[in-house]
Amino acid sequence: MFDYQNGDHFEGHWIEDKKEGQGVHFYYHKEKKAHTKRYDGEWVDDVPKCGAYTEMPPDELAPASQVPDPIPGVGLQDASGVLAARLGEIRAERAHHRAKRISLEEQFTPEELEALQLAFERTSSTGQLTFSQLFEAFSQVGMSPAQAEVEAALAQMGLSVDTTLSFADFAQMADILSPVDDY
């Protein structure tokens, strides 16, 4: 979280002091003394790339916020589909960059991390997973990616099917192969 001097507020992920990944920016209106607009979306290198800009509900403690400055109406067919597709593209493009800089504890809940660790340990007797073992490990956490999806995720990470994978690699692959959250 970060509070700006002008009253704006941001909640989300940061890498090297720049917004990166999913986040919400709340815009402060000085005259109304309230946050009146917000942007929910994906950030890349401190720049909003894909998301939704909406009005905030009026703040009962700030009477001037009862009369919003309306956002002009816009219509987009299949808005959820367009956003989900673009979010998937951005996350795929930035996955390698983010994985190197965001800890597993920030990427997953403790329960998710524990489930991934357990699946990894049950599948691997050597502390490394081979390409063929990946599918068994993924099935233990309820994932069933196709071979082409796994190969694409490996390529995205700069790895090949001949590479043995550490737990961190396995967790990163699970993150890449997870479905995109809907907005």
**For the chain, percent of residues with pLDDT exceeding 90:** 41
Q: Assess if residue 98 is contained within a domain.
A: no
* Residues comprising the chain, all counted: 183
Same domain, 64 and 113: no
Please give the pLDDT value at position 71.
67
Final residue in a domain of this structure, among 27, 61, 77: 77
Same domain, 117 and 64: no
Same domain, 6 and 68: yes
Q: Give the residue-averaged pLDDT of 108-137.
A: 92
Q: Assess if residue 96 is contained within a domain.
A: no
Q: Which amino acid is at 18?
A: K
| pLDDT tens per residue, range 115-128 | 999 999 999 989 99
Same domain, 165 and 111: yes
Same domain, 128 and 66: no
Distance of CA 135 to the CA centre of its chain: 23
Q: Assess if residue 141 is contained within a domain.
A: yes
What CATH number corresponds to the domain at position 137? Answer: 1.10.238.10
**For the chain, percent of residues with pLDDT exceeding 70:** 85
Burial of residue 69, with CB atoms counted within 10 A of its CB: 0-12 exposed, 13-18 middle, 19 or more buried = exposed
Same domain, 61 and 128: no
User: Which pLDDT band holds residue 142 (cuts at 50, 70, 90)?
Assistant: very high
Higher pLDDT, 56 or 181: 56
Which tokens hold the place of 164?
């043995």
Same domain, 6 and 73: yes
Q: Assess if residue 84 is contained within a domain.
A: no
Same domain, 121 and 171: yes
With 70 as the cut, is the pLDDT of residue 99 above it?
A: no
Q: Assess if residue 82 is contained within a domain.
A: no
Number of compact structural domains in the chain: 2
Please give the pLDDT value at position 179.
60
Mean pLDDT check: name the lowest of 21-25, 42-46, 58-62.
58-62
Same domain, 50 and 12: yes
From the list 57, 55, 50, 48, the residue with the least C-alpha distance to 80 is 50
The domain of 41 spans 2-77
| pLDDT tens per residue, range 23-39 | 999 999 888 888 889 99
Please give the pLDDT value at position 73.
67
In contact, 17 and 9? CB cutoff 8 Å: no
Mean pLDDT check: name the lowest of 7-11, 76-80, 136-140, 173-177.
76-80
Q: Assess if residue 165 is contained within a domain.
A: yes
Q: Assess if residue 92 is contained within a domain.
A: no
Q: Assess if residue 56 is contained within a domain.
A: yes
Q: Give the residue-averaged pLDDT of 70-83.
A: 72
Please give the pLDDT value at position 146.
92
Same domain, 70 and 107: no
Q: Count other Cβ atoms within 10 Å, centred on residue 175.
A: 19
